Amino acid sequence: DIQMTQSPASLSASLGETVSIECLASEGISNDLAWYQQKSGKSPQLLIYAASRLQDGVPSRFSGSGSGTRYSLKISGMQPEDEADYFCQQSYKYPLTFGSGTKLEIK
Amino acid sequence: EVQLQESGPGLVKPSQSLSLTCSVTGYSITSNYWGWIRKFPGNKMEWMGYISYSGSTSYNPSLKSRISITRDTSKNQFFLQLNSVTTEDTATYYCARESRTMGMDYWGQGVMVTVSS
């Protein structure tokens, strides 16, 4: 299975701050990577797919980048509604696998 | 609008089978891929398997022969059965529409299942 190592496990940011979350795959995944946001008590929501494509309806302050084995999610200007858990997920090989998650809180 | 909703018992006894239904509205399950994902206490997420538009299936090898995903196209529903459950199967179970290239774009609200005697 492809292991997805996500960091940091938790993060605290001030309103307006830019934050980054990273995922490192155990092998190259050819940009087959998605990012999800999960707010407390809710189901995950797709933010980014194909490493850098913004899902319809997602604010443009979210962006994804990376290649090969290293990928990142950036939030440019933290907003109160961004407080949530974030996960990466690779779809390059089955079984699909997820990162361990990042808990993002407002400082 | 595409909507998915899981249903099923919230409590299952050890060694029994867990059975869940995902009801889909706004889109036919004879298109795309439809998956089951679970989130354990402590936040680990696990992809369990999918059923495709044609009815073919793919499962996570970690679940070995315990899992079965089936469907009823007349009701636009698909189903999860997980046999011989243990307390380690306690999790929140989600169904989702999945695509290899476009991620999992629609999810159900999730159903918490506890395995306990």
pLDDT by residue, tens only, chain B of 117 residues: 999 999 999 999 999 999 999 999 999 999 999 999 999 998 999 999 999 999 999 999 999 789 999 999 999 999 999 999 999 999 999 999 998 889 999 999 999 999 999
Contact at CB, A44 and B102, closer than 8 angstroms: no
Out of B44, B60, B103, name the one closest to residue A46 (CB): B103
**B13 CA to chain A: closest CA distance, Å?**
25
User: Chain B interface, mutation test: which of A46, A47, A48, most B Cβ atoms within 10 Å?
Assistant: A46
- Note whether B35 and B96 are within 8 A (CB): yes
CA A21 – CA B78 distance, rounded (Å):
34
Out of B43, B98, B110, name the one closest to residue A85 (CB): B43
Contact at CB, B102 and A49, closer than 8 angstroms: yes
Contact at CB, A91 and B45, closer than 8 angstroms: no
* pLDDT one-digit tens code per residue, A44-89: 999 999 999 999 999 999 999 999 999 999 999 999 999 999 999 9
Contact at CB, B45 and A98, closer than 8 angstroms: yes
Instruction: Supply the pLDDT for residue B100.
Output: 82
Out of A45, A95, A101, name the one closest to residue B43 (CB): A101
* pLDDT one-digit tens code per residue, A20-30: 999 999 999 99
Contact at CB, B107 and A45, closer than 8 angstroms: yes
